[in-house]
Structure 1
Amino acid sequence: MLSIIVCSIRENFFLQVSQSLQQTIGDYTYEIIKINNLVEKLSLTEAYNKGIKKSKFPILVFVHEDVLFHTHNWGKILLSYFENDPKLGLVGVAGSKIKTRFPSAWWENQTEHLSLNIFQKFSNGETKFESFGFKNGPTSEVVIIDGVFMAMRKDKRIFFNEALKGFHNYDQSISFDFKRYGYKIITTCEIDIEHFSTGSIDDSWVKSSLKFHQLYNKYLPLSIGQEITKEDRAYSCLKFIGNCKRTGHKKLAFRYWLKYLVLKPFSKKNYAFLKYFLNWD
């Protein structure tokens, strides 16, 4: 039995995902809880917590409204994961096996640490199917999942962290909270969904990421049975510097470049960074 929670701002998308759910979930009891955010204007953490409080069933599914499901009877697949592993807390279709101390996104790690299974539609109309990170089977253990699709075991101790405002990092924070309580997190390649938008990194994302790392820094770094190397740290640091540059956070970019300089003092990228910062407006 599933409680499916959707934070909606576009009625046509909500109707589309509702129909897709009905056609693909299988012969299971479920409810769809709509949080009408055109009216309520909540942060995503607040909206999802409202959905949790309204829910009747022990497994919760949080899904973006701009998706379609392509796997039939996916409800059975999903419930089997939770039934077979009492320590399983979260299931997603995309995630990472590591998280460094740098305020980068979950996907801003080297490819060997990522696990992803999704049909992604881009603004130019192209749809690309990406599936990797499942060489040992149909599921992969991770430390963070992406918010496009998150299935959660209901636990009265765990809610979304409302200190995170807006619409970013709710997925990272709920992942860390499940890890904090000793739960396992997995991604699966057995549930295919199509996503009609791509995430964007803007000024609000950078600020939210800094807030997330302030709140959860004591749990970092985090990984699944593997060492986070200097190369891993440098990679995510470099990604965050790029995000800062693109969103106009030049002082923040400089601060993290100094950290990158310690990690990779002989990198050729440092010369380009030096020229960039010397042209400070």
Structure 2
Amino acid sequence: MVSIIICSVSPHLLKDLQQNIAQTIGVEYEIIAIDNREKHWPIAKVYNYGAQQAKYPYLFFVHEDIRLLSDKWGELIISKLAEPDCGVVGFVGDKARFSCCSGWYQYCDMSKISYFYQRIKEGKTLFLVENADLNQPFQEVITLDGLGFFVRTDIWKEYPFDENLLTGFHCYDIDFSLQIASANYKNYVCCSNQMLIEHFSQGNFSDASWFSTTLRLHEKWKHLLPMKTSDLNISDKKIRKCEELASYDFLKRILRSSCDILLKRKVLKMFLWRPFSWKHLKNSISAIIKYMRYA
């Protein structure tokens, strides 16, 4: 019933995950593992290639550095995916996508939804639960993080990963979930003890390729932004505040990065042309000083 697609670079992690899935899934499945140690394909290409080989109606795109902690989780996920308007189901996401360059988190304390275990430094693992209503096993979001997510095969066929835009290993999750949300499907974070997952590593949001890909992503989707779920009660004033925070954080981090000076200059200009406010004026002055320091 479920085709599990993995972009693999570690035979050891892959073997452990295969055993873990066999012990916990509880439904018929197949594993399509693409060894990317020599191919070095972008993850969008790996996922599309894997999905083309899938024989089951439900897909699970997942990192190999995870562990599934619940028994018979396949039954819960399949029952949700079978709903006609269900899009992508994952484990951490955001109810909004604002009109600014950023990662999937939108700097709104009401909109982030998470329900998963995250391994951090020194071997510690945290249970990251944010805005999860335990009376609702699935909570609607716009975008999802890519540590693992499910979707029906027919939806993927209509909205495959964008291999032209996504030429590396970043933003495939945001772009894919935005495609599905904009097509009037509903994306969800799973907030149920029947589907618990542990992620062993944390993402990298500081290298030059992440910044450049995020900018391309923004150019692709800016005409449809902002987007939010219907149940997110947020004012236009609050949206502008969140956009200011997210865009200023993006600017500060790119100025400190090893990105090309032309890319930094482009982001600075984008930020300076944002709608005026006293907060924005203060941040703009600070940004210009940082630009002169790091340029």
TM-score by length of 2: 0.88
**Corresponding residue number in structure 1 for 2:187:** 185
Q: CA RMSD in A?
A: 1.9
> Residue by residue, what CA displacement relative to the aligned partner does 1:173-203 show, whole Å, maximum 9, x if unpaired?
1111112322110101122111111001111
**Corresponding residue number in structure 2 for 1:172:** 174
Write the letter of the residue equivalent to 1:134.
Answer: A
**Corresponding residue number in structure 1 for 2:290:** 276
**Corresponding residue number in structure 1 for 2:151:** 152
Number of residue pairs aligned between Structure 1 and Structure 2: 279
| Secondary structure of 2:38's aligned partner | helix
Distance 1:222 1:261 in 2: 18
> Residue by residue, what CA displacement relative to the aligned partner does 1:232-258 show, whole Å, maximum 9, x if unpaired?
211211221123123144424522441
Distance 1:36 1:263 in 2: 50
| Secondary structure of 2:244's aligned partner | helix
Distance 1:195 1:139 in 2: 19
Distance 2:204 2:65 in 1: 15
> Residue by residue, what CA displacement relative to the aligned partner does 1:67-116 show, whole Å, maximum 9, x if unpaired?
00111111111111123x21101100010001112110012422211001
**Corresponding residue number in structure 1 for 2:23:** 23
User: Which runs of structure 2 are paired with 1:67-82 in the superposition (5 Å)?
Assistant: 67-82=66-81
Deviation at 1:268, TM superposition (A): 5.0
Write the letter of the residue equivalent to 1:14.
Answer: L
Q: Does 1:162 align with 2:194?
A: no
Distance 1:14 1:92 in 2: 20
Distance 1:90 1:196 in 2: 22
Distance 1:70 1:272 in 2: 46
Write the letter of the residue equivalent to 1:119.
Answer: Y
Distance 1:47 1:108 in 2: 28
Q: Does 1:237 align with 2:254?
A: no
> Residue by residue, what CA displacement relative to the aligned partner does 1:103-134 show, whole Å, maximum 9, x if unpaired?
10012422211001111112332211111222
More divergent stretch after superposition (163-172 vs 102-111):
102-111
Distance 2:70 2:267 in 1: 42
**Corresponding residue number in structure 2 for 1:13:** 13
Unaligned runs of 5+ in 1: none
TM-score by length of 1: 0.92
**Corresponding residue number in structure 1 for 2:226:** 221
Distance 2:50 2:56 in 1: 11
User: Which runs of structure 2 are paired with 1:202-217 in the superposition (5 Å)?
Assistant: 202-217=207-222
Q: Percent identity?
A: 29
Contact 1:117–1:129 (CA under 8 A) maintained in structure 2 = yes
Contact 1:69–1:192 (CA under 8 A) maintained in structure 2 = yes
Counterparts in 2 of 1:189 and 1:251: CA distance versus 1, 3 Å: same
More divergent stretch after superposition (214-223 vs 245-254):
245-254
User: Which runs of structure 2 are paired with 1:81-160 in the superposition (5 Å)?
Assistant: 81-83=80-82, 85-135=83-133, 137-155=136-154, 156-160=157-161
Contact 1:168–1:205 (CA under 8 A) maintained in structure 2 = yes
Distance 1:93 1:261 in 2: 33
Distance 2:124 2:14 in 1: 22
